Amino acid sequence: MSTESPGLLRKYRDLLMKHAALVTKLEERTTLHVSTFRLSSWALETSDSALAVLRTGRMVLANSRWHDLCRLRGPWRRIDGREHTGPEHASLREVGLTEAEAVLTRTDEGTHIMRYRQTRAAEPLVLEVRTERVAGPAGGEVLVLARDVTVQALAEEELERARSTEVERAQIRALGELAAGIAHDLRNTLNAMRLRLEMLQRDTVIAQQSQRHLDALSRIVSDANGRVGRLQDFTRYKSGSTVELVQLVEVVRDAVDIARGGIEHRAQHTGKPLDLHVELPERLPLVAGSAMELRYVVINLLINARDAMPQGGTIHVRAGHRAKAVWLTVEDEGTGIPEEHLPNLFQPFFTTKGEKGTGLGLSMAHGVVTRAGGTLTAANRPEKGAVFTFRFPVAKAPARRKAR
């Protein structure tokens, strides 16, 4: 009977111990991998971001958030700034496939970021879609991550509007200072003319021969001085003007007096007849607002109406009140407003005048009327030309203090 060698038995036992240690280590690593996998799965499934792996026209893997967003009704369109670009996509899946194909055709590495917005929803969502090609053997796969950035997009748009408003105010202040300087120089010139006329009127010989002409020149200088005075009042622009009770009839009459000279000058310069037809009642119910700012709005619309009639025509200004509202219309007989421009007409820096326009006038006009609690709308007349309509609620009369 053979006996086992003690050395072989010892080696066998050592091997068994090493095997047990390896099994234990393998179990620990397996447990760690399972825990890591579960943690990763939990993180992906509870993430607010939608994640998917796409490969050549099909989806390989996606978390539950991706499936939730894919169920949202489209269409989705790419946005660049505030403008929509590119075709419409029925679902997020189509968006992901389109962006994945674009990434695979690109030669540069890195993450590609685009934004998409729902175009027909009452409260459209904005998604930021990030795509990146997978490195390594699976080079034909693309990671797609989509997250809801609607709140961020709204905040960015609000910031952009605030910046635009500051630019508008800065430019208006600059224009106001320039106009104030010109008005000051004009007033000095008119005062000098007035003094010379007074000297001529004291000369009895000249006065007897030309009294009628001297009186006419005096009236012209006096009227011009009054217009310059109103122009100086207009240029004293202050942001955050105090709200007051405004008689719209007086505001419109002042605006018409200021703008009439420019309208008449354009007619003389071009040889095209330009008329200003004003229908105003004696008085209207008072409205709340800033007389200076509302005067600016009416002047701006009168100038726009003049510019919209290169072949001449008539500008109609009418006002009235109905129930508890005061209304005012400024109409022209010009070329009208293209229908596609009407929704954007009051947006800052939107202009139909090309390089001749700043895109600030109507935007500021809309802001002034809105701050006064009114509305300003634009439409095309059935005959031809455009009509701008103001509506203001009648201001409540201040409560009278009881006598003590």
Lowest-confidence region among 47-56, 67-76, 89-98, 383-392: 47-56
Q: Does 235 or 1 have the greater pLDDT score?
A: 235
Does residue 339 have a pLDDT over 80? Answer: yes
Strands 313-322 and 274-279 turn out to be parallel
Q: Is 142 helix (H, G, I), strand (E, B) or coil?
A: strand
Q: Does 396 or 34 have the greater pLDDT score?
A: 396
How many angstroms from the chain centroid is the CA of residue 68? 32
Q: Comparing C-alpha atoms, which of 99, 156, 158, 162 is closest to residue 132?
A: 99
Match domain 46-148 to its CATH number in 3.30.43, 2.40.50, 3.40.50, 3.30.450: 3.30.450
pLDDT of residue 281: 93
pLDDT of residue 316: 94
pLDDT of residue 349: 62
Does residue 190 have a pLDDT over 90? Answer: no
Which residues make Cβ contacts (< 8 Å) with residue 257, sequence separation at least 6? 226, 227, 230
The H or E element spanning position 177 is helix 150-202
Q: Comparing C-alpha atoms, which of 367, 391, 392, 400 is closest to residue 241?
A: 367
Lowest-confidence region among 7-21, 272-286, 340-354: 340-354
pLDDT of residue 247: 92
pLDDT of residue 25: 82
Band (239; pLDDT cuts 50, 70, 90): very low
Does residue 332 have a pLDDT over 90? Answer: yes
pLDDT of residue 86: 84
pLDDT of residue 3: 56
Cβ–Cβ under 8 Å, residues 114 and 78: yes
pTM given for the model: 0.48
Q: Mention the CATH class of domain 240-398.
A: alpha beta
What is the chain's mean pLDDT, rounded?
81
Taking the CB of residue 112, how many other CB atoms lie within 10 A of it?
A: 17
